[in-house]
Amino acid sequence: MTGDRLNPPYGILLDRAKPVRFSFEGGNYSGFIGDTIASALAANDVWLISRSFKYHRPRGILSMTGDDGNCLVQIGPEPNVPADRRPISHGLRVTGQHYKGSLRRDRSKWIEWFARFLPVGFYYHAFFKPRGAWDFWEKRIRAAAGLGHIGQVARKNTFDKNYAFADVAVVGGGGAGVAAAIAAARAGGRVILIERQPLLGGSLNHARFDAAGRRGVETAKALAEEMEALDDKITVMSDAVCTGLFADNFLAVTSGERLTKLRAESVVLATGLIEQPAVFANNDLPGVMLGSAAQKLLWLYAVRPGRRAVVIASNSDGYGVALDLDDAGIAVEAVVDLRYTIAGDSLIREALDRGIRIIHGYAIERAVPNTGGSHVAGLDLRLRPGQDSGPPETRRLDCDLICVSIGWAPAAALVAQAGGEVVYDDTRSAFKIAAAPDGIVTAGAVRGEWDLDAAIADGRRAGKHAMAGGHKDSAVEDPAVTPESNPWPIFDSDKGKAFIDFDEDLTPQDIEHSVAEGFDDIELVKRYSTVGMGPSQGRYSATNAVRLTRILTNEPLSGAKGWTNRPPTVPEKFGLLAGRRFEPRRLTPMHHHHEAAGAGMMVAGDWLRPVCYGADENAAVQQEVTAVRQNVGMIDVSTLGGLDIRGPDAAEFLNRMYTSAYSTQPVGRGRYALMCDVSGTIIDDGVACRFADDHFYVTTTTGGSDTVFRSMLWWNAQWRLDIDTTNVTGAFASVNIAGPRSRDLLAPLCPDIDLSPEAFPYMAVRQGDVANIPARILRVGFVGELGYEIHVPAGCGAALWERLTVAGHSFEMRPFGVEAQRVLRLEKGHIIVGQDTDGLTHPDEACMTWAISKRKPFFVGGRAVEMHRRRGVARILVGFTLPAATQILPEECHLVVRGQEIIGRVTSIARSITLGHPIGLAYVAPDQAEPGVEFTIKGPGGRLIRATVSALPFYDPQNRRQSA
């Protein structure tokens, strides 16, 4: 059974050929594709859907918009799903939330018995005395608070984003919105029309505009035909919500699991109206709903909202609801019209003609609950003061459905977010949009245009105006016919709780208490009482809360503003904001070879680099270090930065950017390049290779290339030297062959380059072919052995690695990774900028005065370096050793101490296989910097470790091996 359904034309959203089975609270139900959870449950006569936040009262359908908190359910790990919006699907398992025991018999409903002890803001006054009370109460309150539960096991979901552009974005696909889209498209614009429902039409699909009940359908059909002719100019986003309207007409639109960032030249907001509830005792019972909710159940889902109905009306819409109920075979017990005077119109006359009873002159006493209190069973009325005697003082109307049609509020959240002005107009007894910003045009019912034809015409006007730029147009007239709303739909009663905010279980007394406590502005009332802070964000409470607050503070209603409106207009999942994870990762051209060789990879800036080759890191590193020291090894150094500096002023430029002198550097030679910033702090290092008088190729650290490049561009924008700087980091793949046998390995691959020490000495640079690949070759010695760094076009990097690997077979060459390289360079006493230097290290502290030219008039940071020198150093970077038997080594950043004083820190540490004992670098006091001096490191667990200063380099102090 898919529930008791009306026949077509009711149920326009349903696909009756596709029944669906789902469960709710363990019970099995059926519906159709197109049903929401709430509509399918209603069809199966299930009206209790949730429990309220504070008092655990039974709740059900209120609005059928998905915007109120009365229909929130749990689906698996996802809490707070609006049942009146989420479609059912086959096998869907739904449960209620926020109850103990069962939804039907919630053991927590006893809380309501203590309501008088839990007034608004009670938690500000209680639970913190005596001392320790809060510790007791906090966990209990936390356990009771919140709705639903979040699954702790995160499941991967696919969220997406895209960008869209339009001349005109129209938000709201009702009559006015569709008319606006058509007009804008006819004026030549690209239009995107955003509609929350699965189909266009808005209230045309369910509201009654005329006695015969045909105008809505006919108007929707006519507009659809107009749209079809403009199919290629209008993009319809249905099932889509505009969650925010930001500066420069930037709209966030969510649909399913996609967030669209939409940029529009102009925006038309045709977002319509929000029907408002009345405040009377037990107005939250299941079966008490807005009139439009009942109409949606009928027309969209073919569901009878009840069997016997009372309509509470303050406008002719209520009569439209009554006629719709009557047409659907639902007994209409009465229309209770709250107005003092009633103007006849076609809907009222039709109701009278059908014999529908109209009761006038009564106020609402309460909704009467059934036995068990889970559904409405009747409506009690009381005669208004001043009425003629004769009618009974009180009346009871038996019913299982109360439809409330007492007024409207404009859906103006987006206007407010965009900076528009929304104020209370007491001639309309509702909020109205007083002003919209430039570029935003309001249309239709949201602007107050109530007559259907006028609303459609207003939409057309708005579309054309938007295409003309949407500038503020003072010539636009106020609507002639505006929606009618009850000016005070709040009824005192001691017969039960009357809710002004369903989400937060707030009554008018809570607002009164807030004002009595001194919170005399709506913004303060909101924060103290939490009115409007629930899932509906004030859609069904703001108007009454503002009315009440203004009356209580003796302020005029006219011109009153609500609280500040902020995005999102509906809840947004964090996944939508995150979208797909775009995390660019740079890989060298040899990456797949490293993976194939079993390398573990590490993140180095934007890159991945091999740590070592082998599962046992310690063993692999030791073997790789030994291979380099005794034989030959190969490391991928493609991640190092590379910059081509070309032009007549290239040498002068390097003179200014780096600390050394480059003007006299011969062609064919490399020179160490140390870079400081304006404060004299070391920020990068590399090698400057001169390939021609006007061409330098400068390397940088892996993480420094972008910073150095930017710095070079910035400085030369001021100096205007005749150079070109090109960042060629990604354009070259580089390999370092290092070890005593590196020359032997390389020579056969370089037939046109003389690798002899005389022809190619240490720190020389050459260009030629290596393994038939054009290359730049640098003879550098970062690891302290004979070595050649080969730079080839990146597209040839993989081929170079393969050919070197083949050539290396007969030499038993090993690839080595970053960890082995760290040990090797440490043995040679080379610093790593950023590890052995920090944000303050200047060259004198790092014992690098040798890298500073004494004859240059200027380099970046030179003045500051000089000032540091005059001031003297407070710390010095030194090498140190530990006894070979040391079991537990200090780690990087462990402190160097002297008594209670912190002197410095360890920057590098490693067990040296080559030397047979641990070595490291550390900052110590100047009086501790001589070789042989001992100092103290506070190691793991606070253990004090004695270290001995050592001269650098530890390995091959005569540099014979790297200069071989």
Partner 1 sequence: MTDPTRFSRRSFVHPRLVQHGAIFRNIGQVSVADTFPGRNGLATRLALIDLSPMPRLGLKGGGALDALREAGIPVPPINNMARRLSDGALIARLANTEALILPDIELIGDTIGLVEAVPIVSGCYPAPRRDSHAWFVLCGTKAVACLQKLCGVDLSPQEFADLRIAQTSVARLSTILIREDRADIPAFHLLADSASALYFWDVLCDAMDEYFGAPTGHAALCELNTRPPVKPAG
802 binds partner 1 (CB under 8 A): yes
716 binds partner 1 (CB under 8 A): no
Taking the C-alpha atoms of residue 169 and residue 466, their distance in angstroms, rounded to an integer, is: 9
Closer residue to partner 1 in complex, CB, 520/769:
769
Return the range that interacts with partner 1 (CB under 8 A); candidates 394-402, 438-446, 583-591, 891-899. Answer: 583-591
799 binds partner 1 (CB under 8 A): yes
String marking each residue 143-162 x if it binds partner 1 according to CB under 8 A? -----------------xxx
795 binds partner 1 (CB under 8 A): yes
630 binds partner 1 (CB under 8 A): no
Q: How far is the CB of 78 from partner 1 (least distance, A)?
A: 24
Closer residue to partner 1 in complex, CB, 706/838:
706
Return the range that interacts with partner 1 (CB under 8 A); candidates 42-50, 298-306, 520-528, 794-802. Answer: 794-802
Q: How far is the CB of 796 from partner 1 (least distance, A)?
A: 5
**Contacting partner 1 within 686-705 (CB under 8 A):** 694
Among 583, 752, 758, 901, binds partner 1 (CB under 8 A): 583
Taking the C-alpha atoms of residue 769 and residue 546, their distance in angstroms, rounded to an integer, is: 82
Q: How far is the CB of 856 from partner 1 (least distance, A)?
A: 24
Alpha-helix residue ranges (DSSP H) falling in 770-849: 797-809, 818-827
**Contacting partner 1 within 233-272 (CB under 8 A):** 261, 263
451 binds partner 1 (CB under 8 A): no
Closer residue to partner 1 in complex, CB, 714/858:
714
798 binds partner 1 (CB under 8 A): yes
Return the range that interacts with partner 1 (CB under 8 A); candidates 272-280, 317-325, 587-595, 880-888. Answer: 587-595
- Single out the residue of 817, 890, 822 nearest to residue 615, CA to CA: 817
Question: CA 748: distance to chain centroid?
Answer: 57
Question: How many residues of this chain interact with partner 1, rule: CB under 8 A?
Answer: 47
Return the range that interacts with partner 1 (CB under 8 A); candidates 420-428, 469-477, 796-804, 808-816. Answer: 796-804
587 binds partner 1 (CB under 8 A): yes
Closer residue to partner 1 in complex, CB, 355/584:
584
Taking the C-alpha atoms of residue 191 and residue 595, their distance in angstroms, rounded to an integer, is: 50
45 binds partner 1 (CB under 8 A): no
| 303 φ/ψ angles, rounded to the nearest 5 degrees | -110, 130
Q: How far is the CB of 648 from partner 1 (least distance, A)?
A: 6
722 binds partner 1 (CB under 8 A): yes
Q: Do residues 524 and 538 lie in contact, with contact meaning Cβ atoms separated by under 8 Å? A: no
> Where are the extended beta strands (E) located within 467-626?
599-604, 607-613
Taking the C-alpha atoms of residue 323 and residue 330, their distance in angstroms, rounded to an integer, is: 10
495's CB contacts (< 8 A; 6+ apart) are 281, 282, 365, 366, 380
Token pair 């997406």 is found at 160
121 binds partner 1 (CB under 8 A): no
| 929 φ/ψ angles, rounded to the nearest 5 degrees | -85, -5
789's CB contacts (< 8 A; 6+ apart) are 637, 734, 735, 736, 777, 778, 779, 780
Distances (CA, A) of 717 to 654, 710, 859: 15, 11, 16
Closer residue to partner 1 in complex, CB, 23/162:
162
- Single out the residue of 353, 351, 340 nearest to residue 387, CA to CA: 340
794 binds partner 1 (CB under 8 A): yes
Taking the C-alpha atoms of residue 860 and residue 653, their distance in angstroms, rounded to an integer, is: 11
Residue 313 corresponds to which tokens in the numbers above?
């009306």
Give the strand pairing for 607-613 and 599-604.
antiparallel
164 binds partner 1 (CB under 8 A): yes
131 binds partner 1 (CB under 8 A): no
580 binds partner 1 (CB under 8 A): yes
654 binds partner 1 (CB under 8 A): no
Q: What's the first-to-final CA gap in the chain, in angstroms?
A: 91
**Contacting partner 1 within 472-501 (CB under 8 A):** none
730 binds partner 1 (CB under 8 A): yes
Query: By three-state DSSP, how is residue 641 classified?
Result: strand
Q: How far is the CB of 438 from partner 1 (least distance, A)?
A: 21
Among 796, 813, 823, 921, binds partner 1 (CB under 8 A): 796
| Helix H or strand E encompassing 404 | strand 401-405
255's CB contacts (< 8 A; 6+ apart) are 237, 239, 240, 241
Residue 703 corresponds to which tokens in the numbers above?
């993480």
Taking the C-alpha atoms of residue 778 and residue 753, their distance in angstroms, rounded to an integer, is: 12
Taking the C-alpha atoms of residue 173 and residue 187, their distance in angstroms, rounded to an integer, is: 19
Return the range that interacts with partner 1 (CB under 8 A); candidates 270-278, 333-341, 724-732, 888-896. Answer: 724-732
Among 110, 123, 165, 719, binds partner 1 (CB under 8 A): 165
Angle (deg, nearest 10), helices 452-467 and 215-228: 20
Taking the C-alpha atoms of residue 444 and residue 657, their distance in angstroms, rounded to an integer, is: 65
Q: Compute how many other C-beta atoms are within 10 angstroms of the C-beta atom of residue 513.
A: 18
Q: How far is the CB of 87 from partner 1 (least distance, A)?
A: 21
Return the range that interacts with partner 1 (CB under 8 A); candidates 486-494, 622-630, 722-730, 816-824. Answer: 722-730
Query: By three-state DSSP, how is residue 818 classified?
Result: helix
Closer residue to partner 1 in complex, CB, 250/672:
250
Taking the C-alpha atoms of residue 250 and residue 267, their distance in angstroms, rounded to an integer, is: 9
Return the range that interacts with partner 1 (CB under 8 A); candidates 320-328, 377-385, 532-540, 644-652. Answer: 644-652
Closer residue to partner 1 in complex, CB, 729/914:
729
658 binds partner 1 (CB under 8 A): no
- Single out the residue of 959, 530, 620 nearest to residue 823, CA to CA: 620
Q: Do residues 638 and 588 lie in contact, with contact meaning Cβ atoms separated by under 8 Å? A: yes
Among 73, 728, 818, 921, binds partner 1 (CB under 8 A): 728
Closer residue to partner 1 in complex, CB, 530/638:
638
Taking the C-alpha atoms of residue 544 and residue 499, their distance in angstroms, rounded to an integer, is: 10
Among 592, 710, 863, 943, binds partner 1 (CB under 8 A): 592
Q: How far is the CB of 165 from partner 1 (least distance, A)?
A: 4
Closer residue to partner 1 in complex, CB, 730/740:
730
849 binds partner 1 (CB under 8 A): no
Question: CA 504: distance to chain centroid?
Answer: 26
Using CB under 8 A, list all residues that contact partner 1. Answer: 160-165, 190, 261, 263, 580, 582-589, 591-592, 606-607, 638, 644, 646-648, 694, 722, 724, 726-732, 772-773, 793-796, 798-800, 802
